[in-house]
Amino acid sequence: MTAIESVTLEVPEPAAAEAFYSAAFDLGDKVRVRASQSPTTGFRGFTLSLVVSQPGTVDSLISTALTAGAAVLKPAKKQFWGGYSGVVRAPDGTIWKVATSAKKDAGPATREIDGIVLILGVANMASSKHFYVAHGLTVAKSFGSKYAEFEAKADAIKLSLYKRSGLAKDAGVTPDGTGSHRLAIGSDAGPFTDPDGFTWETASA
């Protein structure tokens, strides 16, 4: 099974970004940074989601992210679908959602993250799904032309696809944006560039 082992965020100031992610989420080598001055404006076409067990953990992670320098895009609150989530923008511009499907806390808040999901905003869902299936991924769920997600190993980053406009709305931003995604996806399927311009690289230890 094709697996995403890590994502690399391209940032203007790697030391500052590393300090932020260590303080905010402590994701280890799943999320890496490297220097880049590639021009980019507006929505970069992707978001990263942290899946956690309960609302208190959502609040805990968002609180530390804000203390470390993130900005609120959507305050954490109960959602109409029954879960609880909030969205922040990191100082390097990456958009992060922290979410749980639980309606209430089952115990004290922790900082434990159950999963990481990379969501790519795509122009044509059918074309993008076909592309990724051809590169070894297996569709786990699909909702027509709006959303799809792929199977993932327990310790890997999960990949999902969302129409670009819908993903931007979910993140609380406008869909307009140009230039580099400033993202490299490390997996055992790379290297290649997908139909929406996202770069995949061979995963490194």
How far is the C-alpha of 96 from the C-alpha of 73, rounded, in Å? 9
Residue 84's pLDDT is: 96
Q: What is the 3-state secondary structure (H, E, C) of 51-104?
A: ECCCHHHHHHHHHHHHHCCCEEEEEEEECCCCCEEEEEECCCCCEEEEEECCCC
pLDDT tens, residue by residue, 134-179: 999 999 999 988 999 999 988 899 999 999 999 999 999 999 999 9
**What is the maximum alpha-carbon separation in the chain?**
45
Q: Which residue has the tokens 């399927």?
A: 189
**More confident site: 3 or 180:** 180
Residue 154's pLDDT is: 85
Q: Which residue has the tokens 């956690």?
A: 52
**More confident site: 110 or 85:** 85
Residue 50's pLDDT is: 98
The DSSP secondary structure of the chain, one letter per residue, reads ---EEEEEEEES-HHHHHHHHHHHT--GGGEEEEE----EEE--SEEEEEE-SSHHHHHHHHHHHHHTT-EEEEEEEE-TTS-EEEEEE-TTS-EEEEEES-SS-SSS------EEEEEEEES-HHHHHHHHHHTT--EEEEETTTEEEE---TTSBEEEEEEHHHHHHHHTS-S-EEE---EEEEESS-SEE-TT--EEEE---
How far is the C-alpha of 76 from the C-alpha of 202, rounded, in Å? 35
The candidate with the shortest Cα–Cα distance to 32, out of 183, 190, 195, is 183
pLDDT tens, residue by residue, 106-136: 899 889 999 999 999 999 999 999 999 999 9
Q: Which residue has the tokens 């992060």?
A: 96
Name the class of domain 4-202.
alpha beta
pLDDT tens, residue by residue, 175-203: 999 999 999 999 988 799 999 999 999 98
Radius of gyration of the chain (CA): 16
pLDDT tens, residue by residue, 54-75: 999 999 999 999 999 999 999 9
Which of the four pLDDT bands, split at 50, 70 and 90, describes residue 21? very high
* pLDDT of 81 above 90: no
The candidate with the shortest Cα–Cα distance to 45, out of 95, 117, 115, is 95
